Structure 1
Amino acid sequence: MKLNNYKITFTLFILSLAFTLKAQNSDPYTFPIRPNKTNFLSGTMGELRSSHFHAGIDIKTGGKIGEAVHATKRGYITRIKVSTAGYGNALYMLHPDGNTSVYAHLHEFDEEIQKYVKEEQYKQQTFEIELFPEPYQFSYKTQEVIGVSGNTGGSMGPHLHFEIRDSQQRVLNPLHYGFKEIRDNIPPILQGFVIRPMNEDSKVENEFKRQNIPYNRTGFNYTVEDTISAIGKIGLELWGHDKLNGSANKNGISIIEVNVNNELQYRQNIDVMSFGLQRHILVHYPYDVKVTSGARYHKLYVDDGNSLKYYDTKNENGTLNIKNGEVYNISIKMLDPYGNTSKLEMVIKGEQARSRLDKSIDFELDELEYMVDDDYLKIYAQSNCNDDAEELNLNFDKKIKSINPSYYLDSVAVYIWSLKKGIPTSILNCEKGMSINPIKQIVPYSETSISESNMDISFSKYSLFDTIYFQTDYEIITKDSLEIFSLNPRTSPLKSYIEIELSPQLNHYDEEKSHVYKTDDTGNFSFEGGEWNNGKLKFSTRELANYTILSDTALPTIKPNGNLSYIIIDNLSGIASYEAHLNGEWILMKYEPKDDLIWVEWPDTPIEKNGEFVLKVIDNAGNETEYITKL
């Protein structure tokens, strides 16, 4: 049958399109810094940061700014962002395969982009800006220079942050794109290993306590020599890092596998990352350990509330159910993107826990004390009464529950009570009693409001990852005239914001200058903000912590630094805004908060550069300083 012209044209179009797509997809990605030369990384995909997984890779630039940054693949710029935080100066480039590459912390963009950005900054009268150019307005071939590396935004040193994202803006691991500029034949390195009891009936080495497990190292393999005694439901936690050739940096471990008696129990692979779930890192690592020690372990199990897609587990979300008399041969593999592997091996034997242990507690006990540990009430009591009185009485509103010690540490009886079974109001042991600071059970996906004498707290449906047992406390530190409003447990993470309304008891606050600040045990303060209404101060937070109210009446300082640059500093609430004018006309000021440095960036169009120059700086408390000079 003879094809008409339309069918011939359409067929040729389809063949041409298929050839073009094949050519586009075969177009390789190239390294964005010093292509075809050896490079080094300071950060890799999936590293555990405080509030997020590290996306992409950080490429070293020799500790200096100004290294040429090359397009990894042909494409055009779809997004430009200038910010004093986060990615700083960043470019986003769309490629024919639908992926987007990201180049962050740049010092400057390519000349044409730089000119376009400055024009828009003057037009919109703002330094921080986000722009979306037209398609092909700024297009580049593979390895063409699109800017130079820097140290802008949240960067802690000069480097290029580089990402590859798919069409859904999920971050992909750039090290899977065959970059020969990076070499790695070093397996991951173990730094610590821990076993955690997961309910009140489980023990590790006879205790209801997260236990650090010692191990020996041979090369890049590790062995726990002594058989570990455990019973019940337990969770494994691992701390380690990876290294690459020629670099001392401690990078993350993205792939971990746990085999039990030669059967896969758990596997994680942090290889494709969704920004919408980044905060779930707070339930990927043990948040309580990070808060108390700073160490970020990998949980080798999946906790309730964790929606990340990195895991493959056999059953019970990766936890192990250790049965009496059974032996468990555990092998944990750590792998990097280049296939380098290290291994930790151990034996766990199921054994009923002994009731009396020849070891002492690691704190000073005043006869009777308690602590809230996750979902459990852990009570310590001096065992100095007769055997008939060793029971501990838990007092509830309308009943009393008696429980026996879980075990003894020398002469101290340790009691474990699951708060899921009820929340007591007081405890009694050996005629020694103690009231319990009120505990409220807060569950996720439920709006909950709590009213205390000095504060009201509102949880939304999405505030929590998992159920928490919430307590508040209030204290006046007289010598400092400080009110401390405490939200506990500080070892539990929040998924989203809660609303707090404080009712201060002191009356010395200037409401225009007084705001909420988070405070830590070392006396540091960080501005949180808040708004006053009828003598109460309302703010929102995503962290259970200690908060106070401070007044900031000090003006920000402006100090000339030469060549139309200035040092601007505020010692308490922090810089909120800044603005400069020359003879009444707005002038662009670039700002680098890390250096407290601000400087003039003249427009590309000719202007009069003489006259009255006014720089105004305002802090978060509304204090304003003006610096006026003649140019």
Structure 2
Amino acid sequence: MKKLSFIISMLVLPLTTIQAQDIIKHRQFPQNYFRRPMDIAPQASGSFGELRATHFHGGDDYRTQQKINIPVYAVADGFVSRIRVQIGGGGNSVYLDHPNGYTSVYLHLESFNEELNALIKVEQYKQQRFDVDVFLKPGQFTLKKGQLLAHSGNTGGSAGPHLHFEIRDTKQQLPFNTQLFGLTFPDETKPIIRGLTVYDLADPIFDENTPRRHQTVKALANGNYSLTVNTPISVNGKFGLGINTVDRRKGVSFTYGVYSIELFLDNKKISTVLFESIPFDKTRAIHSYIDYPYWKKSKVRVQKSFKQPGNPIEIYENLDNNGIMELKDDQLHQVRYVVKDVQGNTTEINFEVKRDANYTVRNTPSSSGKSFNYLMDNVYQAENAKITIPKNTLYDNLNFTYSETEGPVNAYSQLHRIHNIFTPVFGSYSLSIRPNEKLSAALFSKALLVSKDGGSQGGKYENGLVTATVRSFGDFYIAVDTVAPTITARNLVNNKNVAAQRQIDFTISDNLSGIQSFNAYIDGAWVLMQYDSKNRHLWHTFESNLKGGKHSFKLEVKDWKDNVRVYEASFTR
């Protein structure tokens, strides 16, 4: 009974903050339960929580030394709950549910083990498509710890051969920092601090006009840091701080994300950011977590220690007054940043701030425009455009601006400036643009919205407008896509004898709207084509049941505006 009471008490124990291994955690993670996914020396090319262009990295990237086909093993007993073949994204991936309530996830695989390969191919032929997402029942396909699961690769959105590995809470599909489970990488190196930024926050709206004072730093003999000019920083009114920091490991050139960033004012904790777990539906909020306007201008990521009111991210372990500070006296005040990696290697920087009534905040008020509230639906109606922004799409209140100018020579509308590129949005909004007289009825079905840099936003003509769902502000206009995708055969010509070939290869591309689908047929029967969008490579591996003799081959490739290209050839095998 005592043992049962102890188990029950552990189950209902609130998620209080615990100090273990000199890092902050909100739960106990099982140790020695999971093995490493590969039997090679563990080296990382990416870490959990690392700052990426559009998201926080949700796992650890294991290096495979520029090789593919490294065996990948089940990290613990479990059953395969999901297999996915994706164009872009995670490529070939496997989800393995474990009895302890966690799921291990393996992405960018070259192939699955023999049984899973067969299972996924049956599903691809059943659905007659390359990209499939298959959910399996518990016990349908079980694996023991250390049993071969797959082989590493470079599929999907991978920028080079590696294994992306995650451990998630099974019920919530919430990813955790995998090193918290004991699957650590060799690391005795402290994080590094590259700079600090002081933000004068007299204007409650944070944007590109917010005054920024970037501070240079220098490393000290003990591995910690100080300001290069070690004099008190003058402030006057509300202010916030940001830090440019990354983690490093000995012997490699990669930079990694840190685990925690703590900010103290006179030993009072103002802000703690913790990369223990990051919900997938909040990961795009990285654009509000960092100083997005400064990143757009400089490609330098400053991690703000204060939070915009519309930022839904849940990585703050504590946050006093949203991280915004204001000094009420003229005394010197001590500021301290403490930065740790997941193994507890710690870096600090200490400096002073002081209120100075003579310091003038050089504040440039936000441009005049229509006032948008981030908590409300917002609509802007112009003569030739309509913008509809749902509530909770903006990170902050916004003085929204709009203008219209002459479009490019290939445009079928004016050029519409939707606010500016320095203001990020969390979700999507609806943008409708009225075409000019160049857009004839014959082109209605081919019309779409594009950004000024030529990137397709998709869209559909309806009721005199072309409407698309977009995820950024900037300059947009209407274009048309009447050009079919291109197909280039790499190793097939008409009437070729392909007896010596395992597969036939093609390069496919599209000029604007992008590839929507591809379908191939041998002697009129659908056959599987595999696709790597990174290098536009499309190929078919001949099935073992293909009989010898002459065969007909047909490939159809369609873009998102239903323009179709067909390639046909005969071959002998």
- The answer to whether the 8 Å contact 2:193/2:217 transfers is no
Q: Give 2:355's aligned residue.
A: 350
Give the one of 453, 458, 461 matched to 1:529.
Answer: 458
Contact 1:450/1:456 (8 A) holds in 2: yes
Instruction: Show CA shifts across 1:347-388 (max 9, x none).
Output: 111112346xxxxxxxxxxxxxxxxxxxxxxxxxxxxxxxxx
**Separation (CA, whole Å) in 2 of partners of 1:299 and 1:201:** 15
Name the structure 2 match of 1:3: none
Deviation, structure 1 residue 308: 2.5
| Structure 2 residue matching 1:120: 3-state secondary structure | helix
> Cα RMSD (Å) of the superposition?
2.7
Equivalent in the alignment of 1:118: 121
Equivalent of 1:489 in 420, 443, 448: 420
Matched with 2:315 is 310
Q: 1:40 touches 1:246 (CA, 8 Å); kept in 2?
A: no
1:506 CA displacement: 4.7
User: 1:252 is matched with which residue?
Assistant: 257
Measure the CA separation in 2 of the matches of 1:275 and 1:556: 33
TM-score, length basis structure 1:
0.79
CA distance in 1, matches of 2:194, 2:158: 26
After superposition, the C-alpha distances for 1:190-230 in whole angstroms (9 at most, x for unaligned) are 1221111111499xxxx972111122222531111122111
The corresponding residue for 1:447 is 377
The residue that corresponds to 1:214 in the other structure is: 216
The structure that has the greater radius of gyration is 1
Would the alpha carbon gap of residues 534 and 608 (structure 1) be closer, same or farther in structure 2, given more than 3 Å must change?
Answer: farther
CA drift of 1:268 comes to 1.1
Question: Following TM superposition, by how much is the alpha carbon of 1:447 offset from its aligned partner in structure 2, in angstroms?
Answer: 2.4
Q: Which residue of 2 aligns with 1:514?
A: 447
Q: Name the SS for the 1:292 alignment partner.
A: helix
Letter in 1 for 2:377: E
CA distance in 2, matches of 1:593, 1:489: 30
What does residue 91 of structure 2 align with? 88
CA distance in 2, matches of 1:146, 1:622: 38
Structure 2 unaligned spans of 5+: 12-28, 492-502
Preserved CA contact (<8 Å) 1:41 1:244:
no
Q: For residues 499-510 of structure 1, what are the structure 2 equivalents within 5 Å? A: 499-508=430-439, 510=443
**TM (normalized to structure 2)?**
0.87
Q: Give the equivalent residue in structure 1 for 2:189.
A: 186
In 2: Cα distance, 1:621 partner to 1:92 partner: 34
2:81 to 71, 78, 81: 78
Shift of 1:492: 2.0
Report the secondary structure of 2:455's partner residue: strand
For the residue of structure 1 that corresponds to 2:311, the secondary structure is: coil
Q: Tell me which residue corresponds to 2:71.
A: 68
Change in Cα spacing, 1:417 to 1:114, as seen in structure 2 (3 Å) is closer
Q: CA separation in 1, counterparts of 2:393 and 2:55?
A: 17
Which residue identity does 1:132 align to in structure 2? F
The CA distance in 2 between the partners of 1:121 and 1:628, in whole Å, is: 22
State the shift of 1:607 in Å: 5.6
Q: C-alpha separation between the residues in 2 aligned to 1:160 and 1:610?
A: 41
- In the TM superposition, residue 535 of structure 1 has moved relative to its aligned partner by 3.3
Q: Distance in 2 between matches of 1:351 and 1:149?
A: 58
CA distance in 2, matches of 1:41, 1:73: 21
Q: Is it true that 1:175 corresponds to 2:182 in the alignment?
A: no
The equivalent residue for 1:130 is 133
Matched, 1:582 2:522: yes
1:467 maps to which of 397, 414, 439: 397
Q: Distance in 2 between matches of 1:110 and 1:44?
A: 26
- Deviation sequence 1:161-200 (CA, Å, 0-9, x none): 00011132111111112236x2000111112211111114
Residue 498 of structure 1 is matched in structure 2 by 429
Question: Does the 8 Å CA contact 2:31/2:182 hold for their aligned counterparts?
Answer: no
CA distance in 2, matches of 1:451, 1:91: 46
AA partner of residue 193 (structure 1): L
2: CA distance between counterparts of 1:233 and 1:487?
30
Per-residue Cα deviation, 1:54-87 (whole angstroms, up to 9, x for no partner): 1110000001111111111111100000001111
Aligned to 2:498: none
CA contact (8 A) 1:323 1:351 kept: no
1:159 has 2:162 as partner = yes
Whether contact under 8 Å (1:587, 1:601) holds in the other structure is: no
Instruction: In structure 2, give the amino acid aligned to 1:212.
Output: H
Partner Cα separation in structure 1 for residue 277 and residue 408 of structure 2: 52
**After the TM superposition, which segments of 4 or more aligned residues of structure 1 sit over 6 Å from their partners?**
24-27
Distance 1:97 1:570 in 2: 46
Displacement after TM superposition at 1:505 (Å): 3.0
CA shift in 2, pair 1:85/1:481, >3 Å: closer
- Could you tell me which residue of structure 1 aligns to residue 232 of structure 2? 227
Partner of 1:108: 111
Q: Distance in 1 between matches of 2:226 and 2:539?
A: 57
- Residues 208 and 606 of structure 1, relative CA distance in 2, 3 Å threshold: closer
Gaps of 5+ in 1: 1-10, 356-405, 408-414, 424-438
- The verdict on how the C-alpha distance between 1:208 and 1:170 changes in structure 2, with shifts beyond 3 A counting, is closer
Structure 1 residues 201 and 174 mapped into 2: Cα distance closer, same or farther (>3 Å)?
closer
Alpha-carbon displacement from aligned partner over 1:498-535 (angstroms, at most 9, x marks no partner)? 1121112352563232311112xxxx311111111243
1:290-309 alignment to 2 at 5 Å? 290-309=295-314
Which residue of 465, 487, 500 corresponds with 1:558?
487
Secondary structure in structure 2 of the residue aligned to 1:491: coil
State the SS of the aligned residue for 1:117.
helix
Count residues with an aligned counterpart. Answer: 528
Could you tell me the percent identity over the aligned residues? 29
Asked whether the equivalents of residues 119 and 603 of structure 1 are also in contact (C-alpha less than 8 Å), the reply is no
> 2: distance between equivalents of 1:120 and 1:544?
40
Q: Cα deviations across residues 360-419 of structure 1 (Å, max 9, x unaligned)?
A: xxxxxxxxxxxxxxxxxxxxxxxxxxxxxxxxxxxxxxxxxxxxxx76xxxxxxx75478
SS of structure 2 residue aligned to 1:146: strand
How far did residue 272 of structure 1 move?
1.6
1:271-291 CA distance string (max 9 Å, x none): 022122222222211222222
Give the deviation of 1:264 after TM superposition: 2.0
| Distance of 1:552 and 1:60 partners within structure 2 | 40
Cα deviations by residue, 1:128-181 (Å, 9 ceiling, x for unpaired): 00111232222111111101000111111110000011132111111112236x
CA distance in 1, matches of 2:137, 2:548: 32
User: Aligned partners of 1:101, 1:118: CA distance in 2, in Å?
Assistant: 23
Secondary structure of the equivalent of 2:115?
helix
